Amino acid sequence: MSLLVVGLSHRTAPVSVLERASLVGEEPAKLAQDTLVAEPATEAAVLATCNRIELYADVDKFHAGVAELSTLLAQHTGVDLDELTPYLYVHYEDRAVHHLFSVACGLDSMVVGEGQILGQIKDALALGQELHTAGRLLNDLFQQALRVGKRAHSETGIDKAGQSLVTFGLEQLAGGTTPVADWAAGRRALVIGAGSMSSLAATTLARAGVAELVIANRTLDRARRLAESLAGQSAGADAVAGAPREDGSAAGRPLIARAVPRDRVPDELPYADIVVSCTGATGLVLTADMLREALDRRAEQRAAGTAGPGAAETVALLDLAMPRDIDAAAHRIAGLRLVDIESLAEAAATVSDQPTTSAGPMAADVDQVRAIVSSEVSAFGAAQRAAHITPTVVALRTMAADVVAGEIARLDGRLPDLDERQRAEITQTVRRVVDKLLHAPTVRVKQLASTPGGAGYADALRELFDLDPQAVAAVSRADMNGTRPNGSGDTGRPGAAAVQNDPKRGRA
């Protein structure tokens, strides 16, 4: 079996396609389960974010696997296969490992270096474990990807090279030149949703100095917990308490944070200067009509003199959901400024194309992370190849132990007068001879198997010692279930199938 990933992301597909192909709610779970039903796959995991949909699988045939996974993605996203195919990418075995490790480090993110992807990879692994669609290979792969991502963030300055998507979006709303803390200070903010991205947005806005924060969520308890964790914090935690802002407000004032059910959003919208939305809704959360009505009510408040002192002339909208939460028509409504995934992708591409004074250190950090990824890919491949031969080695030692047991039983029949001490000494001597004969070749074959192209050593060992393939498979199953019998003579653990290079890799 071999690792295969088929997917699409902001790098290969326009946002309009990503939006239609997005997986929400129970859809990632259904995709993973249906992948296991397909013949080529024995394991499956789905990584679905606002700008990426990837299906990982352990397959026994490359071409059949690509065809099946591509078809499954089309079926579950609702995008016709002929339309979807030009945007798909395919990575196989070592390249698939390299891809996921790069994703985990933030190298493939819209905002290079962002760390939210680690939480999304962790969620994908947890879902695969819960559904039992992730087996030995994908468990090893995703857990190692998390470790590699953490290593990249702790050993390099990649965190400085990139921001979170939330921060980047707020910077775009602020105009790119005004610090977010100055732009957001004293304003009222409405965050729709209480998931990981919305929680990050709420925390970021609190630290930026908003005066009031309203969190609206379908599950009110979750919104309450988030609001309670932020309420009372000093507005603008990064600023010096009491220091004046550009709008005349002072940093360090206690933040007012409260929670409301999501159906109260139309009531809260007229009072919000900043709106961030990131839900799992399949339809629009904020329609054009809702936004126009909110603007009319804001105008009435200003005319009546009841608008707050920090009320902004333009309402800033940040849509981080996929599919979108906020009607794209907001781009054309006066009094609104909308930044969504599509405009963030365009802004990120513009930023990456422009040389800056900090480009040198950032490039150095990225290069350092790439070196980490390359070394980790090599180590992972070696470990998987070595693990692949372990069931064969265990089967060989089990066969040898059975031969010894059989010969000792035969000796008992020929020499029935042996006492227990003599019998034990003979048994131990024979076992030592067998162990010494097998030690060097089994250690050496593991070393050779861990090298590139070492997959054939397991087959050679089975042929040389005429090992029963079913016995080897039984060892693999027992090890995966944690039921390998004691006394097998080997402490290594079998893992994924050997890596076999396929020359026909690339885009689907």
Which residue numbers are catalytic? 50
Distances (CA, A) of 26 to 48, 130, 135, 281, 311: 11, 13, 20, 12, 39
The phi, psi pair for 233, rounded to 5°, reads -65, 155
| Plot region of 145 (φ>0 → left; ψ -120 to 50 → alpha; else → beta) | alpha
Contact 214, 191 (CB under 8 A): yes
Contacts of 144 (CB under 8 A, 6+ apart): 101, 376, 380
Cα–Cα distance, 120 to 194 (Å, whole number): 15
Burial per residue of 271-302, b for 16 or more beta-carbon CB atoms within 10 angstroms, e otherwise = bbbbbbbbbbbeebbbebebbbebbeebeeee
Within 13 Å and on the Cβ side, how many CA atoms surround 441? 16
Cα–Cα distance, 486 to 488 (Å, whole number): 6
Contact 318, 190 (CB under 8 A): no
Tell me the sheet residues that pair with 212.
188, 256
| CA 369, chain centre distance (Å) | 17
Q: Say which amino acid occupies 274.
A: I
DSSP letters along 389-404, please? HHHHHHHHHHHHHHHH
Distances (CA, A) of 413 to 406, 408, 420, 425: 11, 9, 14, 17
Q: Which of 126, 143, 141, 165 is nearest to 28 (CA)?
A: 126
The phi, psi pair for 447, rounded to 5°, reads -65, -45
Distances (CA, A) of 150 to 48, 107, 145, 261: 20, 13, 9, 36
Neighbours of 243 (CB within 10 A): 11
Contact 137, 1 (CB under 8 A): yes
SS3 letters across 271-301: HCCEEEECCCCCCCCECHHHHHHHHHHHHHH
